Chains A and B, each alone.
Chain A
Amino acid sequence: MVNKNKNLALTGGAAAAEALRQINPDVMPVYPITPQTPIIETFAKFVADGEADTEMIEVESEHSAMSAAVGASAAGVRAATASSSQGILLMAEILPIASGMRLPILMLVSARAISAPINIHGDHQDVMFVRDAGWIQIFSENAQEAYDNTLIALKLAEKVRLPAMVVMDGFQTSHSVENLEILEDSVAKNFAGEYQPKNLLLNFDEPKTFGPVALPNSYFEFKRQQVEAMSGVVPEIEKVLEEFGKISGREYDLFEKYRLDDAEKAIVVAGSTAGTAKVAVDELREQGEKVGLLKIKLFRPFPYAQVAETLKNIKQIVVLDRTVSFGSSAPIFSEIVNAMGRTDLQSCIYGLGGREIFKEDLKKVFSDNWDGKEVKYIGLK
Chain B
Amino acid sequence: MNWKEIEEGAVIAHDIKKSPKTGDWRYMKPVVDKKLCAGCASCFDFCPEAAVDFDSERKADIDYDVCKGCGVCATVCPKRAIKMTK
Q: A interface vs B, CB < 8 Å?
A: 100-103, 161, 198-199, 206-212, 214, 218, 220-222, 224-225, 228-229
- Cβ distance B3 to chain A, nearest Cβ, rounded Å: 4
Contacts of B13 in A (CB 8 A): 199, 206-208
Contacts of B16 in A (CB 8 A): 207
Contacts of A100 in B (CB 8 A): 9-10
In the complex, are the beta carbons of A199 and B9 less than 8 A apart?
yes
A199-B11, A212-B10, A212-B12 provided; 12 other pairs, C-beta below 8 A?
A100-B9, A102-B8, A199-B13, A206-B14, A208-B11, A208-B12, A210-B9, A220-B3, A222-B3, A222-B8, A224-B3, A225-B4
Measured in the bound complex, the distance between the Cα atoms of B3 and A78 in whole Å is 27
In the complex, are the beta carbons of A198 and B12 less than 8 A apart?
no
> CB-nearest residue of chain B relative to A209?
B12
Contacts of A229 in B (CB 8 A): 8
18 A-B pairs in the complex with CB atoms less than 8 angstroms apart: A100-B10, A103-B9, A161-B9, A199-B7, A207-B13, A207-B14, A208-B11, A209-B11, A209-B12, A210-B9, A211-B10, A212-B12, A214-B10, A218-B1, A220-B3, A221-B1, A222-B8, A225-B4
Contacts of A103 in B (CB 8 A): 9
- Cβ distance B82 to chain A, nearest Cβ, rounded Å: 27
Contacts of A222 in B (CB 8 A): 3, 6, 8-10
Measured in the bound complex, the distance between the Cα atoms of B68 and A166 in whole Å is 50
- Cβ distance B70 to chain A, nearest Cβ, rounded Å: 23
- Cβ distance A155 to chain B, nearest Cβ, rounded Å: 19
In the complex, are the beta carbons of B12 and A221 less than 8 A apart?
no
In the complex, are the beta carbons of B3 and A221 less than 8 A apart?
yes
- Cβ distance B39 to chain A, nearest Cβ, rounded Å: 24
In the complex, are the beta carbons of A225 and B6 less than 8 A apart?
yes
In the complex, are the beta carbons of A210 and B3 less than 8 A apart?
no
In the complex, are the beta carbons of A209 and B14 less than 8 A apart?
yes
Measured in the bound complex, the distance between the Cα atoms of B11 and A210 in whole Å is 5
> CB-nearest residue of chain A relative to B12?
A209
- Cβ distance B18 to chain A, nearest Cβ, rounded Å: 12
Measured in the bound complex, the distance between the Cα atoms of B6 and A214 in whole Å is 12
For window 1-42 of B, CB contacts with A under 8 Å fall at 1-4, 6-14, 16
Main secondary structure on A side of the interface with B? loop
Q: B interface vs A, CB < 8 Å?
A: 1-4, 6-14, 16
Measured in the bound complex, the distance between the Cα atoms of B7 and A73 in whole Å is 17
Q: Please tell me which one of the listed residues B2, B11, B14 contacts residue A221 in the complex, with CB atoms under 8 A apart.
A: B2
- Cβ distance A102 to chain B, nearest Cβ, rounded Å: 4
Measured in the bound complex, the distance between the Cα atoms of B10 and A103 in whole Å is 12
Measured in the bound complex, the distance between the Cα atoms of B6 and A102 in whole Å is 13
Contacts of A209 in B (CB 8 A): 11-12, 14
Contacts of B10 in A (CB 8 A): 100-101, 211-212, 214, 218, 222
> CB-nearest residue of chain B relative to A205?
B16
In the complex, are the beta carbons of A225 and B3 less than 8 A apart?
yes
Contacts of B4 in A (CB 8 A): 225, 228
> CB-nearest residue of chain A relative to B11?
A199
Contacts of B7 in A (CB 8 A): 199
- Cβ distance B21 to chain A, nearest Cβ, rounded Å: 15
- Cβ distance B25 to chain A, nearest Cβ, rounded Å: 20
Contacts of B2 in A (CB 8 A): 221
Contacts of B3 in A (CB 8 A): 220-222, 224-225, 228
Measured in the bound complex, the distance between the Cα atoms of B11 and A116 in whole Å is 39
Contacts of B8 in A (CB 8 A): 102, 161, 198, 222, 225, 229
Measured in the bound complex, the distance between the Cα atoms of B4 and A247 in whole Å is 35
- Cβ distance A95 to chain B, nearest Cβ, rounded Å: 15
- Cβ distance A158 to chain B, nearest Cβ, rounded Å: 14
Measured in the bound complex, the distance between the Cα atoms of B11 and A208 in whole Å is 7
Contacts of B6 in A (CB 8 A): 218, 221-222, 225
Contacts of A228 in B (CB 8 A): 3-4
Measured in the bound complex, the distance between the Cα atoms of B71 and A175 in whole Å is 62
Measured in the bound complex, the distance between the Cα atoms of B10 and A222 in whole Å is 7
> CB-nearest residue of chain A relative to B16?
A207
